[in-house]
Structure 1
Amino acid sequence: MNRYDWMLVIFTAVLVWSGIAPKDYPTWALEVSPAVIGAVLLVATRKRFQFSDFAYWVMLAHAVVLMVGGHYTYAEVPLFDWLREPMGWSRNNYDKVGHFMQGFSPAVIALEILWRNQVVKSRGWLVFLTICVCMAVSAVYELIEWLVAVLSQEAADAFLGTQGYEWDTQSDMLWCLIGACTMMLLQGFGGGLRRR
């Protein structure tokens, strides 16, 4: 098996585990669907555009974060419940990992697409537009969370995972920004990218 096959095996194994008796099936479907849609798109477009191995591993890590959050709900991931007391947290902060990845993973995707397709030629614009893409993804996700809350009071609390924190939306977007900036630093502000 090649590395892509191994990634699909890992993805499928975690997806199956995640779907076995999750905390709440409607929330599970909402949380896991971006990972499944992303995997289908990646498989469908792999011959036309191949990302770096690093990007695929980052996307897989993001999918795993989504599937773990879907299984337990973000507010009830056991490790982060256990960490609450030693870290002095008032809430389960697993959702912050999800929102960090919401910036970290799309940043590498945007970087590679924008740079290799020569959408931008300047590294400064590359950084700016990559961060803009990540923040747009975050804003759209927050709007989807709001819409779910309005349409379905039953699934809203588990899906939103605000845990009574009034600044949850703003905090989520900040963590996305931190994730995107972290990826930019790892990539040397696009300096490590090669055009193919």
Structure 2
Amino acid sequence: MNSPRTPWLIGASILLLGLLALSGYRPYDLATWALEVAPVLIALPILWATYRRYPLSTLLYVLIFLHALVLMLGGAYTYARVPLGFEFAEAFGLQRNPYDKLGHFFQGLVPALVAREILLRGDYVRTRAMLAFIVACIVLAISACYEFIEWGVAVAVGQGAVEFLGTQGDPWDTQSDMLFALLGAICALLLFSRLQDRQIRRLPPRGSDRSTQPNADPE
């Protein structure tokens, strides 16, 4: 892979694997850790497997890395016990640890930009208004599916799923989780669309030989 980004992505992957191992060293609850970091274990091999024929924008790689950090920290402590969340709760007078809402915000932010990039590069959507609408719908569908997974885990393992669910006694936790995912998608569309557009224009055409385009990488 003759690309200026490749060494940085390799370094980021190695760092990510090291942090993943660190988060899995004596976590608060091993089963919860495994469930929370599963998206990282799934996404990383896929990103490398598709890097040559379908590289993503640098923006997406950076945000995926940050999302992985959020997931690993939540997995190590469980979302209801992340120290950073207690700091926010104390600062804003909240009754619960809000760190899980950060996780769901990223659950909307990152998939929104992934969906947007795929739709744009495949020329599947013609108008920007329809693009934004479809992206928001995709994010809400992903968020709802994740809530289904949480529900399925709760039914399967019973009381043992309490740490994974992280509702902290909030009867509206599911609804607020999906709201924060939607807010993440909206922020992605408002804050990062132009930057993503510029980076997409600098990506090599799909299926092209990257080795012959050393300067085709995004910002």
Sort the TM-score into its range (normalised by shorter chain): over 0.9
**1: CA distance between counterparts of 2:196 and 2:39?**
29
2:30 is matched with 25
Report the 3-state secondary structure (helix = DSSP H, G, I; strand = E; otherwise coil) of the residue aligned with 2:197. Answer: coil
Q: Structure 1 residue 96 and structure 2 residue 101: aligned?
A: yes
Give 2:121's aligned amino acid: R
Provide the TM-score with structure 2 as the length reference. 0.85
Checking the alignment, whether the CA contact within 8 Å between 1:135 and 1:177 is kept in structure 2 is: yes
Q: CA deviation at 1:190?
A: 8.6
Q: Structure 1 residue 79 and structure 2 residue 84: aligned?
A: yes
**1: CA distance between counterparts of 2:21 and 2:62?**
19
1:4 is matched with 9
Checking the alignment, whether the CA contact within 8 Å between 1:127 and 1:190 is kept in structure 2 is: no
Runs of 5+ in structure 2 lacking a partner?
A: 1-5, 206-219
**2: CA distance between counterparts of 1:54 and 1:86?**
31
**2: CA distance between counterparts of 1:70 and 1:103?**
19
2:113 is matched with 108
Provide the TM-score with structure 1 as the length reference. 0.94
Larger relative contact order, structure 1 or 2 (CA cutoff 8 Å, min sep 6):
2
In the superposition, relative to structure 1, how do residues 69 and 191 fare at CA in structure 2: closer, same or farther (>3 Å)?
closer
Task: Compute the RMSD of aligned alpha carbons.
Answer: 1.6
Checking the alignment, whether the CA contact within 8 Å between 1:28 and 1:71 is kept in structure 2 is: yes
Runs of at least 4 residues off by over 6 Å: none
Larger Rg: 2
Question: For this pair of structures, how many residues does the alignment match?
Answer: 196
Q: CA deviation at 1:189?
A: 7.2
Superposed CA offset, 1:49-108 (max 9, x none): 111111100011111111110000000001212332221010000000000000000011
Judge which range, 113-122 or 69-78, deviates more: 113-122
